[in-house]
Amino acid sequence: MRSDADATMRTADKRLEGECVMKPAERNVVNEQSEHYRYQPTNSGAKVFLYPEWLGSYRYVAGYRLNRGPLDNFLLFFIRSGRFGIDIPGRDRIVAHAGDFVLIDCYEPQSYEALADSEVLWIHFNGISARMYYDFISERAGNVFSTANSQFAVNRLRRIGEGFREGTRMSEPLMSRYLTDILTECAGSGDDAPEGESAHQYAMEDVQDFIVANLAQPLTNDELANMACMSRGYFIKEFRRATGLTPHAFLVKARMDAAKRLLARTDDSLKRICAKCGFSSPSAFCLAFRNAEGMTPLEYRRSVRG
C-alpha cells in the first residue's frame, strides 16, 4: 500500500539474491519491518493473466495517512493487526479491523489512514479480468469484508511475496492462478464454507504443501504457525486435526517418503539424499530409516530394485 505512485515517492533500494527489495521512506511506516516489490508483466502476460504491479508488507504507526490520485490498477490488502479508516468517494468512512480484507478501485482517488499501529499485506493488481473481479466482489461483499477461509487467501498472497523476496519469483501463469484463488475466495461470503468444514482447511493444505516443498530447510512450528496466521499452540492442534499427525511427525514422514523415492529411483549417495531431504547426517538418516522401515537405506534400495 504505497503512499505515492509517481517519481516523488521516496524509497531506499536494497539488493537481495536477484530481486530488488524496496524499503519505504515514508512517515509513519516502520522502515525496518516493511518492504515492497514492483513487477511489470510481459506483453503476452498482460493480455492473458491477472498479475501484480506492486506488492508488499508494511507495518504502520497510528496516524499514517494516504491521499492519492488515480492509479491504473486495483488494491487488495489484508489487515493482520490494527485498524484502518477507509474513505471512498461518495460514501461514509468504513473502519476495517484485523482479519478484514480491503478492496479499492485505484482508478478513483484513494484515501485511508491507520487508526492504530497496524501490519498489512497488500497487492496492487491488474489484468484482463481485474475489473470484473472488482465489480463482482464490491457489489456482493462491499469494499471491506472477511472471508470464510481467510488464511487460504492470505497464504496465497504471502507466497507471491516470498517469491520476490527470495529471488525465486513465480511464473506468470502461477502468479495469475494464485491471484485468481485470492479473488475467488474474496468473492465468496463468510457463509460459503460447507457445514462442518474446518475454517482452516485451506491453510493446513498450504502448510502441508510448503513442508513437502521445503524438506531440506530447518522448519519450525513457529514458522509454520506464522504461515497459517495462527498461534503456535492453536496451529499444532489444527494441524493434528487435519492430518492426524503433529507438524514434526508430518515433516519426518515427508522426509522419509522423499528419501525412499530417491533410493528407489536414483543412484544418489546417502549424503546427497540427506541434503535433499533435510536429515542432519548419513548416520542420523540410517538410524531413522532403520527404525521406520526395519532395514538400512541401502538394503531398501536393493529390495525395491530387485
Using the 3D structure, point to which of 197, 229, 250 is the last residue of a domain: 197
231 within domain boundaries: yes
The secondary structure of 228-248 as a DSSP string is TTS-HHHHHHHHHHHHSS-HH
Residues 211 and 135 in one domain: no
- Look up residue 63 and give its three cell numbers: 496516524
Residues 188 and 203 in one domain: no
Give the model's pLDDT for residue 183. 96
Residues 187 and 236 in one domain: no
Query: Which residue's entry shows cell 511464473?
Result: 171
Q: Which domain holds residue 301?
A: 199-306
Give the model's pLDDT for residue 6. 39
Residues 155 and 225 in one domain: no
Alpha carbon 104 to its chain centroid, in Å, reads: 20
104 within domain boundaries: yes
Using the 3D structure, point to which of 197, 226, 247 is the last residue of a domain: 197
Give the model's pLDDT for residue 12. 34
Residues 180 and 303 in one domain: no
Give the model's pLDDT for residue 140. 92
Query: Which residue's entry shows cell 481485474?
Result: 130
- The low-confidence residues of the chain, meaning pLDDT below 70, are 1-20, 189-200
Q: Where are the beta strands (DSSP E) in the chain?
A: 11-16, 19-24, 35-38, 50-60, 65-68, 74-81, 83-87, 94-97, 101-105, 110-114, 118-127, 144-145
Query: Which residue's entry shows cell 540410517?
Result: 286
Task: Report pTM.
Answer: 0.65
Residues 191 and 203 in one domain: no
Q: Which of 22, 100, 7 is nearest to 54 (CA)?
A: 22
CATH code at 57?
2.60.120.280
Residues 186 and 136 in one domain: yes
The amino acid present at 3, given as its one-letter code, is S
Check if the beta carbon of residue 138 is closer than 8 Å to that of residue 84: no
Using the 3D structure, point to which of 148, 172, 197 is the last residue of a domain: 197
Number of structural domains (the chain) is 2
Give the model's pLDDT for residue 189. 57
Residues 84 and 213 in one domain: no
All residues at 6 or more sequence positions from 273 whose CB lies less than 8 Å from its CB, including other chains: 259, 262, 263, 279, 285, 297
